[in-house]
Amino acid sequence: MTADVVSVSPNHSVRHAAQLMLDHRISGLPVLDDNGRVVGIVTEGDLMRRSELGVQALAPIGRQFTTSEDSARAYVKSHSWKVADVMTADPVVVDEGTSLTQIADLMTERGIKCVPVMRGTHLIGIVSRADLLRVLVKAKTDDTASGDNAIRRSILTRLRDDAGVEGNSLILTVSDGLVHFSGVVSSQSERDAARVVAEGVRGVKGVFDHLSVG
């Protein structure tokens, strides 16, 4: 996560929030009240339906407002210059013990790009998609033992335990780090999974796919 969090107040201007996002190259800002509590989050998405971008930006794509309340709320969100009016209130937050896997799943499910990290009621950081990408880039290679036999065992184990591929009709040989698949799998997805699993094992120098789908 990023511990040095850039935040705004509900009383800050939308222009100020937008400038902070540009200056720090971030996609969202936690909104903190005078007591330091997270009361909302303002993101690039919140600023994409602004009147300054033209009248077509005022309504969600493919949907018309159904009530006068919806219309009034949209007008405030698209015209107000106060962060409190445009932010997303009660944002999704996680506690400091939440795993990166859970955070990634949460971002995918909710369609969000950043998540404030809490210690109790205190904001201690924020996790963005960029943070997850940094973890991916810095990830260490696996600790598979060296040697063709170890590579073969690791591939078969991961196919079964991680990818859910039993591979009863799959033939796997490894020679000098070169992996050869042959035989039959039940779907193209299983065929792809075999290749991806093999490519992710340390010591593999190449993967040759002679599989057929049947």
According to the model, what pLDDT value does residue 65 have? 54
Q: Which CATH superfamily is domain 14-138 in?
A: CBS-domain (3.10.580.10)
Read off the pLDDT of residues 6-28 as tens digits, 9 standing for 90 and up.
999 999 999 999 999 999 999 89
Read off the pLDDT of residues 143-177 as tens digits, 9 standing for 90 and up.
667 799 999 999 999 999 988 888 788 899 999 99
Strand partners, 210: 182
* CA 28/CA 42 separation, integer angstroms: 6
Q: Which residue has the higher pLDDT, 70 or 162?
A: 162
Alpha helices in 5-114 (DSSP H): 14-24, 68-79, 83-86, 100-110
The CATH architecture to which 148-213 belongs is 2-Layer Sandwich (3.30)
- Cβ atoms of 206 and 148 closer than 8 Å: no
According to the model, what pLDDT value does residue 64 have? 57
According to the model, what pLDDT value does residue 61 have? 46
Domain locations along the chain: 14-138, 148-213
Calculate the CA dihedral of residues 198, 199, 203, 208 and round it to 10 degrees: 70
According to the model, what pLDDT value does residue 140 have? 65
Q: Extract the tokens encoding 134.
A: 């940094």
Read off the pLDDT of residues 182-209 as tens digits, 9 standing for 90 and up.
999 989 999 999 999 999 888 899 999 9
The rounded mean pLDDT for the chain is: 86
Categorize the per-residue pLDDT at 47 as very low, low, confident or very high, splitting at 50, 70 and 90.
confident
Long-range contacts from 91-98, C-beta under 8 angstroms, 24+ separation: 91/30, 91/38, 91/40, 91/41, 91/116, 93/38, 93/117, 93/118, 94/118, 94/127, 95/119, 96/124, 96/125
According to the model, what pLDDT value does residue 62 have? 46
Please name which of 54, 55, 48, 56 lies closest in space to residue 18, comparing C-alpha atoms.
48
Q: What's the N-to-C CA distance of the chain in angstroms?
A: 45
Read off the pLDDT of residues 24-44 as tens digits, 9 standing for 90 and up.
999 899 999 998 899 999 998
Please name which of 125, 128, 127 lies closest in space to residue 38, comparing C-alpha atoms.
125
Strand 114-119 and strand 94-95: the pairing is parallel
Residue 117, pLDDT > 60, answer yes
Categorize the per-residue pLDDT at 45 as very low, low, confident or very high, splitting at 50, 70 and 90.
confident
